[in-house]
Structure 1
């Protein structure tokens, strides 16, 4: 009589499990709370129109009140300041008119920056009139829809890659599924945000296209990493997109409001690029969308490249296995 002994799998000690969970919870808190807690203006582009002595006086006052908070650009008149805002070269402007100073804002480009500029208008020596050149939609005056849409956008790409990896065996079919889901997900999210919540304006297809590019960039990159590195690759890519890409996207404020350097990093990841592109396409007729769309395109190409390398690697493994399974008879 043969008795098969089945050794019970070794389980980690309870203390190790609790320590790991505590570390994960701490990382999540830091990733999501730290950027918001340290949010303040840092080199925010701002135009100033007026006489040179008055411009210099304003610059000195801003440097004293918020050191390093604003990057001022002198412009000849109000029209030039308005153009810089609509081209997304500046978040706002100060027009130094002797009779009635004016502060120009664009809340659609960054509600947090517009709020800071509105506060500055009340602190000026002569209280300034505030004009919002590019306001947020009336149905969503605080921009809550766009800010809340960052998380579903990231989760959509991560969940698509995880589900396709688990449920679909064929690599090419996974890629087709990811691209198809990106299109349908982009159309669905844009419809909810634009027609139901009223958070978007402009072209519906343009907004949907930006969302689809972001979802596809994330899901294809994660699929490629899983193809190359296995489950650790999928986990690593998902962690980067969730713990860095989402909190550093600047959707709730602006990239220039995040801690130094981190806002720039966020704009190089799909969530941050998508947020900037969505603001440009939805509210500024596409002005300023070039760079973020290039970033999303680069991530798409990286994802396709990783998938291609994964396919070559899988094919290289399959050929020797096939040769061993079919030996040549003597």
Structure 2
């Protein structure tokens, strides 16, 4: 194989190798060692023993736990429904109770069970766990929303490459319209499979569909706009934004209280977290617990996509205007008699054609 062929092959292999490295760093960095990180729990009661237990847990766990005390069980349930707690421990001499909200995060509930399970094991008493939420029959772990996110994301960022390749000669307006129609189709596929087909979503179908469309449209608009500037690197960029950083910070597998600070910070505003946490709030917590903020984050990502395609459209227009004189001169040279073309002019034309290809 000739050296230039090897360089050409290496250039094409660079993208998948970078994808491999990025996926390994993102997924292993986010998921390889989940442990509590400011996991907020409560001990219920006002006795001296309760306060001693809470303080002992604080001193022992350090930054791993945030331990508070609450007056009664009703207050603990209310805080769990507000998604402000990971779990609440209700002491009892014979059988203490642990309150969790598995719909908020099944893995977080398991982490809380492990924390208080060690305490009851030392006391040699059984621990009764009560889930205050009700999950649909089609999604007993509450992780189906995350897999819906995966489907919406792949359908969205995968379509960016198709629109960029097949619609390269079309105007920005046409490509944006194609993107919006595609996001509509992606969101319909998502709600149909998550709803009637598998029962992951068993109510509020219209709202979940609308959130899916807003999420998908934001990704498509960002991708269509980015393609003007990034060209062949658009796919890699989309994977970094909407797979590597998106899935790992969405809270679908582990929420921030089981991840390091980097992923936890991105969770507060990334669009995948906006969809997952917004859907959880709507489906399992009656639209409370930050639902409006999550919708706002999806709307802001959509607005960023609109701004990017507007900038890209303006850039393409300016490029077209700047290239117009050169194209006019090229066509004039091609229409001139062959005998009038000098060797240098022919060489320049050949170079222009090569660059155009």
- Fold-level similarity (TM above 0.5): yes
Contact 2:98 2:130 in 1 (8 A): yes
Assess if the C-alpha contact under 8 Å between 2:106 and 2:141 holds in 1: yes
Q: Does residue 89 in structure 1 map to residue 91 in structure 2? A: no
What does the per-residue CA deviation read over 1:172-205, in whole Å, with 9 as the maximum and x for residues that have no partner? Answer: 1221222222223222212211222222243011
Residue 161 of structure 1 deviates from its aligned partner by 1.4
User: Residues 222 and 23 of structure 1: is their aligned pair in 2 closer, same or farther, counting only changes over 3 Å?
Assistant: closer
1:104, distance to aligned residue in structure 2 (A): 0.8
CA distance in 2, matches of 1:111, 1:65: 25
- Say whether 1:103 aligns with 2:98: yes
Cα shift at 1:171:
1.1
Give the deviation of 1:298 after TM superposition: 1.3
Work out whether residues 57 and 67 of structure 2, in 8 Å CA contact, stay in contact via their aligned partners in 1.
no
Bigger Rg over Cα: 2
Q: Is the 8 A contact 2:22 2:240 kept in 1?
A: no
CA contact (8 A) 2:163 2:178 kept: yes
- Where is the helix percentage greater, Structure 1 or Structure 2? 2
Give distance in 1, aligned partners of 2:21 and 2:104: 32
Q: Could you report, residue by residue, the CA deviation over 1:10-56 in whole angstroms, capped at 9, with x for unpaired residues?
A: 43298998898666534322322332212122112333321153443
SS at match of 1:25: helix
CA distance in 1, matches of 2:15, 2:321: 41
| Deviation string, structure 1 residues 136-163 (Cα, Å, up to 9, x no partner) | 2233212342333332222122112111
**Would you say 1:272 and 2:273 are equivalent positions?**
yes
| 1:240-255 equivalences in 2 (<5 Å) | 240-255=241-256
CA RMSD of aligned residues (A): 3.0
C-alpha distance in structure 2 between counterparts of 1:13 and 1:221, whole Å: 29
Task: Please tell me whether the aligned partners of residues 15 and 236 of structure 2 are also in contact (alpha carbons under 8 angstroms).
Answer: no
Matched residue, 1:314: 316
Which piece of structure 1 moves more, 109-118 or 63-72? 63-72
Q: Does the 8 Å CA contact 1:225/1:234 hold for their aligned counterparts? A: no
1:249–1:266 contact (8 Å) kept in structure 2: yes
CA contact (8 A) 1:50 1:97 kept: no
1:137–1:229 CA distance, 2 compared to 1 (3 A):
same
1:190 and 2:185 aligned: no
Most deviating of 153-162 and 124-133: 124-133
Moved more, 14-23 or 88-97: 14-23
1:97, distance to aligned residue in structure 2 (A) = 5.2
Question: For residue 337 of structure 2, what is the aligned residue in structure 1?
Answer: none
> Could you tell me how far 1:9 is from its partner in structure 2?
4.7
Instruction: Answer yes or no: is the 8 Å Cα contact 1:121–1:127 preserved in 2.
Output: no
Aligned to 2:343: none
Per-residue deviation, 1:98: 6.2
Relative to structure 1, the CA distance from residue 189 to residue 19 in structure 2 (aligned partners, 3 Å threshold; closer, same or farther) is closer
Q: What is the alpha-carbon distance in structure 2 between the residues aligned to residue 318 and residue 111 of structure 1?
A: 54
Match of 1:224 in 2: 225
TM-score, structure 1 as length reference: 0.85
Assess if the C-alpha contact under 8 Å between 2:43 and 2:68 holds in 1: yes
- State the Cα distance separating 1:112 from its structure 2 match: 0.5
Unaligned runs of at least 5 residues, structure 2: 330-357
Change (3 A) 1:238 1:82: same
- Gapped regions of structure 1 (runs ≥ 5): 1-6
Cα distance change on mapping 1:320 and 1:25 into 2, 3 Å: closer
